[in-house]
Structure 1
């Protein structure tokens, strides 16, 4: 536990964020990524870092990041991912509104967790959404890695909504999503991209530890949805 706490303290420091952004810039330049891709990666790191520190300003960078990826997806003809990005923009705007509305004088928002009923409901929702999305990707879009892609997308949308409600469990879904991305990148030979996902995975683990600690300290407030 002490080791985990020390790791959390390190990843919460501004030095870690600066190093992570520098890695994104260097890797992006080395693999010949477009300026928009590099910009989106850096904004994404800042977004997740601020989120792990429970800062409302994370939504500003979240919106910028998703809009950058929306442009990339649209320009490359990835229209399904473009639609997903639009949904994420909406969730970021809603999350920004929800956090500001429910914050106290010190700009703190109570960190909540799901009730047992909420866990069952959301498990069923995620399962049904995965099956439906997977069916579309397999039978209509004929996508590669459809099973993993659809599960990753469903995890991402559910995590984004949980984030907007400040549920600490959102980090669990982000961690699972990062693990799936690692598998997808390995299967497709995108080895350099593993570096970026590894950074996000580290920040997500730190975010889970930090938010769960806040959840315990604030009285374990539970909500259903």
Structure 2
């Protein structure tokens, strides 16, 4: 049963990333389901921070869906386009970059200490790192900040090593695909998207 759920998570995860590259708001619904599955998978594998990260993903999926649905520019482009949705994005500002780096550092220290001192996690450093960066990257995605793809490339590479060590081989395949498609996503947003200096994105 656990392996079946993991395979379902892999398939829905791939669909999620395809929708993310296309900036289709249905990605948030698919992401919600994928995250629910991986809460169970990571709990069983004692990858606790990633388990809590997926609980966070469940919550942020609701936020992201509402954020993208309420964005008038996105709704208008979706309504007028029957083929490819308009991709809009913004860049990190210096102020947001400082906030991002500070947030990752604080989250990493907190998560590592919890995992190291209060759980039987076999990979506290890697688990804390991927979770800290993943939390921040998902928030950046909800705000359509293009540099979130760079964070995902790093996270996915580290995650492949962690999940291989824990014997989650279908998930290893998923995260290899995530890493490759994150590069595709960055290229697609940059070359086919429209840059907006809009704080409401």
Instruction: Identify the residue that residue 125 of structure 2 maps to in structure 1.
Output: 147
Aligned mates of 2:46, 2:111 — CA distance in 1:
19
Whether contact under 8 Å (1:44, 1:65) holds in the other structure is yes
Give the SS at the match of 1:168: coil
- Out of 145, 167, 173, the position equivalent to 2:145 is 167
TM-score w.r.t. structure 1 length? Answer: 0.74
Instruction: Identify the residue that residue 221 of structure 1 maps to in structure 2.
Output: 197
Q: Which runs of 5+ in 2 are unaligned?
A: 79-85
Name the Cα RMSD after superposition. 2.7
Instruction: Identify the residue that residue 70 of structure 1 maps to in structure 2.
Output: 39
Aligned pairs (5 A) from 1:5-44: 34-44=3-13
Q: 1:169 to 1:83 in 2, by over 3 A?
A: same
Whether contact under 8 Å (1:118, 1:224) holds in the other structure is no
Which is greater in Rg? 1
Whether contact under 8 Å (2:49, 2:127) holds in the other structure is no
TM-score w.r.t. structure 2 length? Answer: 0.83
Query: C-alpha offsets along residues 7-65 of structure 1, whole Å, 9 cap, x if unaligned?
Result: xxxxxxxxxxxxxxxxxxxxxxxxx9622111111000000111111111111111111
Query: C-alpha offsets along residues 150-180 of structure 1, whole Å, 9 cap, x if unaligned?
Result: 0001111111111111111111111111111
Q: Which runs of 5+ in 1 are unaligned?
A: 1-31
Task: Work out the number of aligned pairs and report it.
Answer: 192
Aligned mates of 1:93, 1:77 — CA distance in 2:
26
Q: 1:44 to 1:142 in 2, by over 3 A?
A: same
